[in-house]
């Protein structure tokens, strides 16, 4: 029993029955400096995202290269269940690149904050508004589903945000997107912003939160509880600078902590995470929630003893749920129970005295700097019980 039973506060928290994942691993994720995914890598990752069950895959930025357009066309041909979307500035040529890639879904964006208006775009509010209107109209006239993002929305004055989202809605945009481009908002801020916009806008709102202060996931969850219908995520949280809200952390927090199983095939999570790590060349931190190699490993005697009895003593959920495996690691903090478990795994029986000696040797070897892998363990056992020649 948890200190707070989620069932008791479900109503109050307004946990939605549905959320849509707008995954941008292949676009914002790929924008992380140094990454260039091949067409085949994009296809493989898209296949897994589709199997996992995301609503939309933002496949890239078609205007950028021939490869992007080729990847988009291949994804369309493959007929995924997930929608396939391409990014475009509010420019005719970018929208044409989306259309030329056989996509029927565009994510249009333009900067709206004073910084973007004055330094990047050097445009007035009216000019930005008109450019956004023209682009949304153009995309809608070409039959596209349109997602409209105000870039740097979280540092934009709310009146201008309401105006530009209102205009996008009037021109037929299907959803507006709050982009927290520099990870500048707090959970309290996103709650306020979403609640204010929901009052004003009739179409769905999505949130796109960056992780510069480590708040991307909690901000996304807070956005959803405040009324956002879709969340932008990336696998392993990759993306510009500190990255985006991590897909796997968001899904698992909603499922385990908020008690909402949205039907994602979470058993594919680890495979997908490894695939993205290999393709992007970005290693998964060992302690990365959900997918890190350490998150289901146990060494200390106290933890191992309890985990052997009941894994949930020291695990928030079972590793199989996300395609991970539990590992009991032998080392300096190991006790008899862990070593006995390892011996059982090797189908070996030793006396209690021998067990104590093996534990002593395991600790000593680890302190001498040896990592206790299977070979080192076997050498220790052999050195103590000469009857064990090979196993
Ligand atoms: O973070 C951001 O502002 C973006 C935009 C392209 C929507 O990724
Ligand atoms: Zn972004």
Q: Do residues 327 and 334 touch, judged by C-beta distance below 8 A?
A: no
Q: Whose Cα sits closest to atom 2 in ligand 1?
A: 181
Closest CA to 88 of 45, 152, 131: 131
Q: Do residues 200 and 230 touch, judged by C-beta distance below 8 A?
A: no
pLDDT number for residue 363:
94
CA–CA distance, 335 with 359 (Å, rounded to integer): 7
Q: Whose Cα sits closest to atom 8 in ligand 1?
A: 28
Ligand 1 neighbours by CB, cut-off 6 Å: 28, 109, 149, 151, 179, 181, 208, 210
Determine the residue of 23, 24, 27, 28 to mutate for testing ligand 1's pocket, defined as the one with the most ligand atoms within 8 A of the Cβ atom. Answer: 28
Q: Do residues 249 and 215 touch, judged by C-beta distance below 8 A?
A: no
Query: Residue range 222-236: average pLDDT?
Result: 98
Query: Residue range 340-350: average pLDDT?
Result: 90
User: If DSSP codes are grouped into helix, strand and coil, which group holds residue 111?
Assistant: strand
User: If DSSP codes are grouped into helix, strand and coil, which group holds residue 97?
Assistant: helix
| For residue 41, pLDDT beyond 90 | yes
The string of DSSP letters for 152-211 reads TGGGS-HHHHHHHHHHHHHTT-SEEEEEETTS---HHHHHHHHHHHHHH--SEEEEEEB-
Percent of the chain with pLDDT over 70: 99
Q: Report the separation in Å between the CA atom of 152 and the middle of ligand 2, taken as the mean of its atom positions.
A: 9
pLDDT number for residue 391:
60
Nearest atom within ligand 1 for CA of residue 31: 8
Q: What is the pLDDT of residues 166-225, one digit of tens each?
A: 999 999 999 999 999 999 999 999 999 999 999 999 999 999 999 999 999 999 999 999
Question: What phi and psi values does residue 122 have, to the nearest 5 degrees?
Answer: 50, 50
Q: Please, which pLDDT band fits residue 148 given cuts at 50, 70 and 90?
A: very high
Residues written for the chain: 391
CA–CA distance, 135 with 168 (Å, rounded to integer): 9
Q: Report the separation in Å between the CA atom of 315 and the middle of ligand 1, taken as the mean of its atom positions.
A: 35
Q: Report the separation in Å between the CA atom of 153 and the middle of ligand 1, taken as the mean of its atom positions.
A: 9
Determine the residue of 205, 208, 212, 244 to mutate for testing ligand 1's pocket, defined as the one with the most ligand atoms within 8 A of the Cβ atom. Answer: 208
Residue 33's Cβ-count burial label (10 Å; 0-12, 13-18, 19+) is exposed
Q: Report the separation in Å between the CA atom of 159 and the middle of ligand 1, taken as the mean of its atom positions.
A: 20
pTM: 0.95
Nearest atom within ligand 1 for CA of residue 182: 1
pLDDT number for residue 345:
86
pLDDT number for residue 389:
59
pLDDT number for residue 390:
61
CA–CA distance, 214 with 200 (Å, rounded to integer): 29
Determine the residue of 59, 146, 149 to mutate for testing ligand 1's pocket, defined as the one with the most ligand atoms within 8 A of the Cβ atom. Answer: 149
pLDDT number for residue 8:
84
pLDDT number for residue 163:
98
| For residue 295, pLDDT beyond 90 | yes
Q: Report the separation in Å between the CA atom of 257 and the middle of ligand 2, taken as the mean of its atom positions.
A: 26
| For residue 1, pLDDT beyond 70 | no
Whole-number average pLDDT of the chain: 96
Q: Report the separation in Å between the CA atom of 302 and the middle of ligand 1, taken as the mean of its atom positions.
A: 46
pLDDT number for residue 328:
92
Q: What is the pLDDT of residues 356-388, one digit of tens each?
A: 999 999 999 999 999 999 899 999 999 997 776
Please compute, for residue 122, the number of CA atoms within 13 A of its CA located in the half-sphere on the CB side.
0
Question: What phi and psi values does residue 86 have, to the nearest 5 degrees?
Answer: -120, 145
Spacing of C-alpha 386 from chain mean position: 51
> In the numeric block, which tokens belong to residue 342?
């390892």
Euclidean distance between the first and the last CA atom of the chain, given in angstroms as a whole number: 44
Q: Please give all residues whose CB falls under 5 A of ion ligand 2, grouped by chain where several chains appear.
A: 28
């Amino acid at each position: 029993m948890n200190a707070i039973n989620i069932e008791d506060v479900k109503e109050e928290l307004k946990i939605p029955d549905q959320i849509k994942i707008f995954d941008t691993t292949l676009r914002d994720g790929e924008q992380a400096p140094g990454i260039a995914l091949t067409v085949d890598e994009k296809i493989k990752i898209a296949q897994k995202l589709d199997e996992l069950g995301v609503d939309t895959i933002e496949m890239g930025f078609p205007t950028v290269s021939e490869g992007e357009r080729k990847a988009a066309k291949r994804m369309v041909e493959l007929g995924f269940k997930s929608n396939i979307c391409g990014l475009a500035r509010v420019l005719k040529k970018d929208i044409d690149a989306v259309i030329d890639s056989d996509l029927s879904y565009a994510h249009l964006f333009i900067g709206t904050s004073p910084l973007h208006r004055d330094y990047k775009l050097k445009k007035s509010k009216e000019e930005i508004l008109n450019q956004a209107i023209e682009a949304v109209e153009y995309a809608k006239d070409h039959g596209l589903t349109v997602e409209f993002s105000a870039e740097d929305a979280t540092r934009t004055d709310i009146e201008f945000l309401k105006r530009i989202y209102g205009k996008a809605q009037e021109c037929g945009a299907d959803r507006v997107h709050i982009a927290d481009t520099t990870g500048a908002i707090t959970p309290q801020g996103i709650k306020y912003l979403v609640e204010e916009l929901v009052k004003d806008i009739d179409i769905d709102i999505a949130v796109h939160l960056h992780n510069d202060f480590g708040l991307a996931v909690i901000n996304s969850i807070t956005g959803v509880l405040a009324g956002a219908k879709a969340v932008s995520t990336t696998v392993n949280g990759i993306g510009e600078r500190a990255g985006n809200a991590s897909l796997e952390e968001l899904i698992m927090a909603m499922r385990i902590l908020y008690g909402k199983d949205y039907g994602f095939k979470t058993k594919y999570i680890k495979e997908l995470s490894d695939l993205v790590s290999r393709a992007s060349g970005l290693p998964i931190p060992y302690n990365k929630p959900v997918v890190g190699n350490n998150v289901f490993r146990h060494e200390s005697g106290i933890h191992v003893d309890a985990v052997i009895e009941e894994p949930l003593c020291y695990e928030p959920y079972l590793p199989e749920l996300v395609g991970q495996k539990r590992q009991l690691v032998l080392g300096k903090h190991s006790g008899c129970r862990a070593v006995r478990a390892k011996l059982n795994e090797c189908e070996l029986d030793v006396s209690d005295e021998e067990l104590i000696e093996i534990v002593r040797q395991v600790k000593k070897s680890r302190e001498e700097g040896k990592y206790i892998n299977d070979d080192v363990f076997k050498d220790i056992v052999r050195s103590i019980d000469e009857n064990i020649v090979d196993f």
